[in-house]
């Protein structure tokens, strides 16, 4: 008989048991469920709601169950629906009727809200550690490539020369913001819902602050209805994970392009590449492609929980059981993805010569020619027009701006002096971009130093 089956005269059908059960996926929260029950029973004893001897029996049984699950000896039952009922059923088998007192002053509604919060707190910390490791890898790559120049792109057209280390530090900044979002999200997870009961609180003289302290929560929830019915903290974590995946997907897209013969900017390690079953010459960037694909999967997890929650009246509804599989999937996906992503970019080879060829193949220093004229008194819009004419001239003559001689420059304007050759060279273009946050060697050095200082307080 089910633990809630007192008012029922018929047994639920097997197909309904299977449909209704969540034990297939929520059993991963067994440690959190037992941890919460240990703290709850301790509070019950402190408040005189159960005897201390009863608490000791309950603790003994819960610790035994923990070991059984850990060793793979515990038999999970679909009939008992979820991790909470499976644990409670086994507890009563071990310690007898006193085990039934554990559920005093709580409901499965506030119990599951507690379990998922405890679980997410742990996983947020795990994800955060991986993100910090990724930040460190970005800084290390930037350090090694702080003098390597490649074309920067807008609209996927060669735009201006930048330092490869600068490019990597852009992603460092993205992940830095993701960590800030994760930390902010953690604050809203870190509140204790236990004590809300089914929806209205409880008539027992419980001490919620005591339980919060026992379980390491920063505080307790303020409203019992809200405590059991909302899952915005799950939605928020799904969003943060989706944001991280978006950032990883963007660099993965670049790596897919950069590793083509047409670009040849990077070569991926064999350890993070695969081959073709029919074309023996192929070396495919499958790690990067899968990361792009898994970003879409995580977006689906976010949309799924948003769709579940959008029309639920207060308070708890069974729909809310659908909150876990999506966030479990998102967590599993981001953790595995980050490990692969870190390995992929750590081991990729940077092909500096190919990057250099790509710079000189385009007119990436055209803006610097216009800046040169503007610095010499010509309105920038007029300078822009003249440089457009210079580019057209170079295209007709099949030459680069950097190959022009002074007399050629002066055909377009007498503002050009001998120093223009050095000023608009690729090296000159990079060196001069000294504005704060720019791509000059000195600015990239500053960004690396600051990033290392930031990481030293975290790692």
Q: Which residue is catalytic, options 97, 155, 277, 435?
A: 155
The residues, ordered by sequence, that sit 6+ positions from 241 with a Cβ below 8 Å of its Cβ are: 127, 298, 301, 302, 330, 331, 333, 334
Whether 167 is a known active-site residue: answer no
Q: What is the DSSP letter of 277?
A: S
Peptide bond into 315 cis (omega under 30): yes
Can you state the angle between helices 108-144 and 441-456, rounded to 10 degrees? 140
The angle subtended at Cα 412 by Cα 409 and Cα 415, nearest 5°, is: 70
d(CA 388, CA 326): 52
Three-state DSSP state, 405 = coil
Class of residue 48 by CB neighbours under 10 A (exposed 0-12, middle 13-18, buried 19+): exposed
The angle subtended at Cα 178 by Cα 176 and Cα 181, nearest 5°, is: 115
d(CA 189, CA 181): 13
d(CA 95, CA 62): 9
How crowded is residue 300: how many other Cβ atoms within 10 Å of its Cβ? Answer: 14
DSSP conformation letters of 295-353: HHHHHHHHHHHHHHHTTPPSS--GGGGGHHHHHHHHHHHHHHHHHHHHHHHHHPEE-HH
What are the φ and ψ backbone dihedral angles of 92, each rounded to 5 degrees? -65, -35
Spell 146-161 as b/e; 16+ CB within 10 A means b.
bebbbbbbeeeebbbb
Q: Which residue is catalytic, options 13, 53, 276, 442?
A: 276
Whether 229 is a known active-site residue: answer no
Question: Which residues are designated catalytic?
Answer: 155, 276
């Amino acid at each position: 008989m089910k633990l809630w089956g007192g008012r029922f005269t018929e047994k639920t059908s097997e197909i309904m048991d299977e449909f209704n059960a969540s034990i297939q996926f929520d059993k991963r929260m067994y440690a959190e469920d037992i941890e919460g029950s240990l703290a709850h029973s301790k509070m019950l004893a402190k408040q005189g709601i159960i005897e201390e001897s009863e608490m000791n029996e309950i603790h003994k049984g819960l610790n035994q169950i923990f070991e059984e699950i850990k060793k793979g000896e515990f038999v999970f039952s679909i009939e008992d629906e979820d991790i909470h009922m499976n644990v409670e059923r086994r507890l009563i088998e071990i310690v007898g009727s006193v085990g039934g007192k554990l559920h005093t002053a709580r409901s499965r509604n506030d119990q599951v809200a507690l379990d998922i919060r405890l679980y997410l707190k742990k996983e947020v910390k795990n994800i955060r550690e991986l993100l910090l490791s990724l930040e460190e890898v970005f800084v290390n790559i930037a350090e090694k490539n702080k003098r390597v120049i490649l074309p920067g792109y807008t609209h996927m057209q060669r735009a201006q020369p930048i330092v490869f280390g600068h490019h990597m530090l852009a992603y460092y900044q993205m992940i830095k913001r993701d960590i800030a979002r994760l930390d902010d999200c953690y604050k809203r997870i870190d509140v204790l819902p236990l004590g809300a009961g089914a929806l209205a609180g409880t008539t027992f003289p419980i001490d919620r602050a005591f339980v919060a302290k026992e379980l390491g929560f920063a505080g307790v929830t303020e409203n019992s209805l809200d405590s059991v019915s909302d899952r915005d903290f799950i939605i928020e974590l799904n969003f943060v994970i989706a944001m991280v995946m978006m950032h990883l997907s963007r660099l993965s897209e670049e790596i897919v392009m950069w590793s083509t013969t047409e670009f040849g900017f990077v070569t991926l390690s064999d350890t993070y590449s695969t081959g073709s079953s029919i074309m023996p010459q192929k070396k495919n960037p499958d790690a990067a492609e899968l990361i792009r694909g898994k970003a879409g999967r995580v977006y689906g997890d976010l949309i799924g929980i948003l769709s579940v929650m959008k029309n639920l009246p207060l308070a708890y509804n069974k729909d809310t059981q659908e909150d876990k599989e999506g966030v479990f999937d998102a967590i599993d996906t981001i953790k595995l993805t980050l490990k692969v992503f870190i390995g992929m970019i750590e081991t990729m080879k940077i092909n500096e010569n190919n990057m250099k060829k790509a710079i000189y193949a385009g007119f990436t220093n055209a803006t610097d020619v216009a800046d040169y004229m503007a610095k010499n008194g010509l309105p920038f819009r007029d300078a822009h027009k003249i440089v457009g004419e210079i580019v057209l001239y170079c295209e007709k003559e099949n030459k680069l701006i950097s190959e022009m001689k002074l007399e050629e420059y002066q055909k377009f304007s007498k503002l050009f002096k001998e120093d223009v050759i050095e000023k608009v060279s690729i090296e000159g273009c990079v060196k001069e971009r000294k504005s704060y946050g720019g791509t000059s060697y000195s600015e990239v050095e500053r960004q690396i130093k600051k990033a290392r200082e930031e990481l030293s307080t975290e790692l």
